[in-house]
Chain A
Amino acid sequence: MSTSFLDSFRDPALAKDLVFSIEKLAESLGRPINIMEVCGTHTVAIARSGFRSVMPENIRLISGPGCPVCVTANKDIDEMIAMTRLPEVTVATFGDMIRVPGSSTSLLARKSEGADVQVVYSPLDAINLAKANPERQIVFIGVGFETTTPLIAATLERVAALNLENFSVIGAHKRVPLALEVLVNDPQVTLDALILPGHVSTILGVEPYEFLSSQYGIPGAITGFEPVDVLQGIAMLLEQLHRGEAQIQIAYMRGVREEGNPTARAAIDRMFEISDATWRGLGAIPGSGYRIRDEYARYDAKRRFELEVEKTIEPKGCRCGDVLRGVISPNGCPLFGKVCVPENPVGPCMVSSEGSCAAYYRYQVQD
């Protein structure tokens, strides 16, 4: 193991101990072990700290579907772009959505053509836009996992309390555990253990993942974002595999409670009902999304406005879908680093800073 790798830790001695136990456990397991990191922020942390190159030979870290922008289907992106063609509409979005290519254009390209597209850091800013511009219809793009969905719900409750008539959401919210169930059943990928997302779990707690261990015998570790947290998560998973156990453990007690955040989950339930959703790469997954409840239909932009949506065309040659499933790693895509680079991305996995292609490109991960 290189000293430069250890130097990047705040506590190199602790990191060294963890790497040592990972090596020992890997040796005694003696078979190939595939561990998927589900969350895009973990993908960045792992790529940044060069973990892949110090892992024992039989331990493979696979990047998963945990970038909300990346898993948004092209059709949903095209619908969001179609909103920008309605003259009365101002589209408000988080920054990471703006460069994502749809079938023929992006929100950013529409903005440079004069469409009214505004980047906000919080849906609260979008409420302020609605208050300040009563003659405009503000449509907020709601993309995200369980971390983000409760605050979209809370925002709509604020909108209802304020009686704001010019605010709605075009949503593509997704439920992480449902995608994990599809992945563990995918014959093209073998998963032995999962590094589970930190902040999705802040909301969900442990219970929604328990089917992984009880039904599929796959251990999971909810992990934080310090490099040493990730190492600790890997060591915990190998330890479980070594003992032949499968549990969902929290290696991130500081940010995740066993029961999650029930207030946030209740906010989701008041505003949304569970619906089917289509994921890039994973396809249609029953019950894996959220839809605004009928009593709040006025806040659902798709039910409020008549949209003309172009025909969906997938980016040619892009293997983002396979990357999101862990079937290939980013450098397995023929376009990676050649035609497709962060300055000129072909697919969303190269656009978002936490997309696997962008992370592998930026940190020159060899895998």
Chain B
Amino acid sequence: MCLAIPARIESIDEDRVASVDIMGVKRQIAVDLVPKAQIGDYVLVHAGYGIEIVSEEFAQETIDLIREFPELAMDGAL
């Protein structure tokens, strides 16, 4: 339940809602908790909110991990 999944920010609107790409799926997330996040950054996403900015390399590793262990991402962690 506490899993967070990396996503790349593609745009941010004036309401601090960002469009992101999470493993190929487009979603809207809020970036209230990562005020420094910018377009192109990867953020860890937990339940629709960015909670930390992470490196692209780490993001990619985690995405691979989730592909391997999809059960880690179950139950609405995305």
Contacts and interface: CB of A to CB of B under 8 A. Distances in A.
Contacts of A124: 17, 28-30, 48-49
Contacts of B52: 202, 255-257, 261
A121 B47 contact: yes
Contacts of A352: 1, 75
Contacts, number: 129
Nearest to B33: A264
A67 B1 CA distance: 7
A125 B48 contact: yes
A357 interface: no
Nearest to A203: B51
Interface string B29-54: 11011110000000010111101101
A154 B75 contact: no
B10 interface: no
Contacts of A154: 30, 32-33, 49
B76 A119 contact: yes
Contacts of A45: 69, 72
A69 B29 CA distance: 23
A151 to B, nearest CB: 4
Interface string A14-40: 000000000000000000000000011
Interface of A: 10, 39-41, 44-45, 48, 66-69, 94-96, 119-125, 144-145, 147-148, 150-151, 154, 157-158, 197-200, 202-203, 225-226, 254-257, 261, 263-264, 267, 352-354, 362
B33 A95 contact: no
Interface of B: 1-4, 17, 28-30, 32-35, 44, 46-49, 51-52, 54-55, 57-58, 61-62, 64-65, 69, 71-72, 74-76, 78
Given A94-B76, A121-B76, A147-B51, A68 B58 contact: no
A43 to B, nearest CB: 11
Contacts of A150: 33, 49, 51
Contacts of A264: 33, 51
A120 B27 CA distance: 13
A111 to B, nearest CB: 16
B1 A122 contact: no
Contact of B71 (A48, A125, A145, A203): A48
B69 to A, nearest CB: 6
B51 A48 contact: no
Given A121-B76, A147-B51, A48 B69 contact: yes
A275 to B, nearest CB: 21
Nearest to A200: B2
B1 A354 contact: yes
Given A96-B75, A150-B51, 13 more contacts: A44-B71, A48-B71, A67-B1, A94-B1, A94-B47, A123-B47, A199-B4, A202-B44, A202-B52, A225-B72, A255-B44, A255-B52, A353-B71
